[in-house]
Amino acid sequence: MDAAVQVGELRIYHQCPSVEELLLKVLHFMKKYSGMFYLVITAKLQTAFDYFFFHCPCDAKSNCAYSLAFLLCPLIAILLWGGIKCCEKRSSDSCMTKCFIPGGWTLLFIFTWIATAFLNENFYLCIMSKGSTSNETAIADPANLPCLVEEENESPQSKRKNKIPFVLSFLIVAIHFLLAWLVACPMLCISPRWVRISFMPPLIAAKLLFISRAFVFMLCAFASIFCIICLIIPLRICVHLLHHLSHNFYYLFHLIHTLLRSLLPWMPPLPMFSERVDIIKPTR
């Protein structure tokens, strides 16, 4: 029941905000401060990208070229994203609003990416190093530190313990990545205009808009979790799992087909299951 306050002859009702209003307020706050969120996400993604994908080739002719390619390729993607943001603006907007503001944010993201990359000592030393070396010569030439030969007496347990801080930092990156998807997708993909139908009552249109936004939130959450799993698991393990997943689906469909043929003997065999598979045979 709504609480009422008597003010003279007027009775003012204080209603609790609805879920739709709270959702719109959260989206407005995220959109207002989205630039700062994107800066933090850029720094965290560069750290994760550097740790999981950057491996110094330890070759005198390839270190600089490999490091520059590793640095410049993501910057090209950020520049393309900035160009897309410029094209999204309406033609009635001024030149300052149309290109300068998105271009300024794009340059800020680029400088953040470069600064975060050079804060990593392995990247800086690899781009400045001359080639591979041994542990003895590395003391005299610190520029070759990324190409040190690994100690043979280092146990697998100590290697795993050394990677625990990186895994924790990547979990923080994953949380930022999930928040970025949850914030960006509803603002870019859902617009209230497509539910404003002339014959639809306003209440039903508002409920439909809320349901659609909730659906997009769940969809973005599942997509983010899938992308995070693909980033955490190494590529070799992903390929191995996908290979066995295809076989498992094949065996599952074969089992369903076998059970159907046992219940319906007149059902013809499918061509994809004509070959022999080591699972239960249909009962005759």
Which of these, 59, 72, 57, 149, lies nearest to 113 by C-alpha position? 72
User: Taking residues 225-229, what's their average pLDDT?
Assistant: 55
Residue ending a domain, among 113, 129, 148, is 148
Examine the pLDDT at 215 and tell me if it is beyond 50: yes
HSE-CB at 103 with a 13 A cutoff on CA atoms is 8
In a domain, 5, yes or no: no
**What residue numbers bound the domain in which 244 lies?**
233-284
Which pair of tokens denotes residue 136? 């003895």
Residue ending a domain, among 106, 123, 148, is 148
Question: Which pLDDT score is estimated for 136?
Answer: 44
In a domain, 52, yes or no: yes
Question: Which pLDDT score is estimated for 63?
Answer: 77
Examine the pLDDT at 4 and tell me if it is beyond 50: no
In a domain, 136, yes or no: yes
Q: Supply the pTM of this predicted model.
A: 0.41
Contact (CB, 8 A) for 41 and 74:
no
Same domain for 242 and 143: no
pLDDT digits (tens, 9 = 90+) for 103-117: 777 778 888 888 888
pLDDT digits (tens, 9 = 90+) for 41-96: 777 777 777 777 777 777 777 777 777 877 877 777 777 666 656 655 455 555 55
Residues in CB range of 140: below 8 A, 6 or more apart: none
Structural domain count of the chain: 2
Which of these, 77, 57, 79, lies nearest to 67 by C-alpha position? 57
Residue ending a domain, among 112, 129, 148, is 148
CA–CA gap between residue 67 and residue 282 (Å, rounded): 59
Buried b (16+ CB within 10 A) or exposed e, 253-270: ebeebbeebeeeeeeeee
Same domain for 242 and 136: no
Question: Which pLDDT score is estimated for 44?
Answer: 73
User: Taking residues 195-203, what's their average pLDDT?
Assistant: 53
In a domain, 114, yes or no: yes
Highest mean pLDDT among 126-130, 143-147, 227-231, 232-236: 126-130
